[in-house]
Amino acid sequence: MNIRRFSRTKRVLALSALAALPAFGQVAQDRPDLCGKPNIGTPVPDNVSAVSSPGSHTELAVRLSASTAKIPMPGVIRVDQVCPLEGNRLLVFATRGAGDSDIFIVSGTTGAVLDSFLVQSPALSPDQRWLAMRDWITPTSQIPVTEQYLLYDLTKDAAGNRSFPGVDARTVKRYGRTMYPVTPGRVPFENHGVREDQVHSFGGGVFLWAADSKSVVFTDRTDAGLTVILVIIEGSDLTTLLHPVSADGVYGILSEASVTMAREDLLEVRATFRAEGPTPYTKSITLHRGDFQLAKVEEFVPPPKKPSVRK
C-alpha cells in the first residue's frame, strides 16, 4: 500500500468531515453601521451565539437566566450583526443571499421572536428608533414590480407597525409605513403587478441618515431619471420631498449625504455621487428647500386575482 497516498486520503476525509460539522459562535459583528453607529464597535452580547451548518441552516441561541432559547433561521447563511435595543431587545441582521436581509427582533428576556421580515438595504437611525429599508422583491418576477421604501418604528411592537386607521391589518402584508412612493395613509402595498408607469427602482447605494435621526436621504429611479429623496420625520409625521438630479447631469451612486435644518426654510442637503470605471466620477451637489418638491400621493390598485379553475 502506498502510505503517502493513504495519509493524504485520510486528511481529505477528515477535512470533509470537519466541513460538514456545524460552526459555533458565528456572529460576524463586523457591520457597526447596521446598529446605527458606524464609528462605534458593538460587541456581540455575551449571551448570544449562532450555529451555522451547510445548506443555509442557521440557529441563533440566546442564553437566558434558566434556559437557552434557540431560534431557527432557515435560509440564513450568516448572522451579520446583533444590536442591543432599549427594552432588553435584540435587533438581529442576517444574510440570506443576493442582498437579501432577514431581520429578527428578539426579546432578551424570553428569547421570543417579537417580529421578523425579509427586506433589502436595511439602515438603522443613529438613535436606534427607525429602521429604513426596501421591501423584498421577487428576483424572477415576470410582471412589473416597483420598489417601496419602508420605515419601521422600533418603539412600537409588530402590530403597531402593521396597523393603520381604517385598514384591516389582515390585508396589510408588509411592515412599517411607506416613505416613498407616498401612499394614502402611508399604508404599504402589494408591489408586484403594478402599472408600468408606477415602477420605481432603487438608485443604488444605501439609506443615509442625518446625525439627529430626523431625516434620511436615498435615491430612486424612474423612466424620468434619477431623483434624490429626502424624508423628514417630525414625531410620527413623515414629509417626503424629492429633487430630480438627472437634468443636472448627475449620475452614479449616492455615497455621502448630510442634512442640516435649523428650520424647514433653512434646509440644506449636501450629497455626493460616485461612479467607478475607467474614468472615475465624483459629483457633489448642495440642495435647499426651494430645490425640492413635495412628493405626490400615489395609489396602487392590487392586481386582479386569477379566477380559480375547477377540475
pLDDT at 6: 39
Of 60, 58, 65, 62, the residue nearest 89 (C-alpha): 62
DSSP secondary structure code for residue 162 in this structure: T
DSSP secondary structure code for residue 35 in this structure: G
Distance of alpha carbon 230 from alpha carbon 218, whole angstroms:
7
Of all residues in the chain, the percent with pLDDT exceeding 90 is 66
Distance of alpha carbon 95 from alpha carbon 118, whole angstroms:
10
H or E stretch at 8: helix 3-20
| Rounded (5°) CA angle 203-81-100 | 40
pLDDT at 42: 87
DSSP secondary structure code for residue 78 in this structure: E
What cell was used for 199?
415602477
CB 273 within 8 A of CB 282: yes
User: pLDDT digit string (tens) for 186-202?
Assistant: 999 988 889 999 999 99
Question: At CB < 8 A and 24+ separation, what contacts does 307-311 make?
Answer: none
pLDDT at 303: 66
How would residue 53 be classed by pLDDT, with cut points 50, 70 and 90? confident
User: pLDDT digit string (tens) for 282-292?
Assistant: 999 999 999 99
DSSP secondary structure code for residue 184 in this structure: G
The answer to whether the bond into 304 is cis (omega within 30° of 0) is no
CB 75 within 8 A of CB 23: no
- φ/ψ of 277, rounded to 5, equals 140, -175
pLDDT surpasses 60 at 311: no
pTM above 0.95, yes or no: no
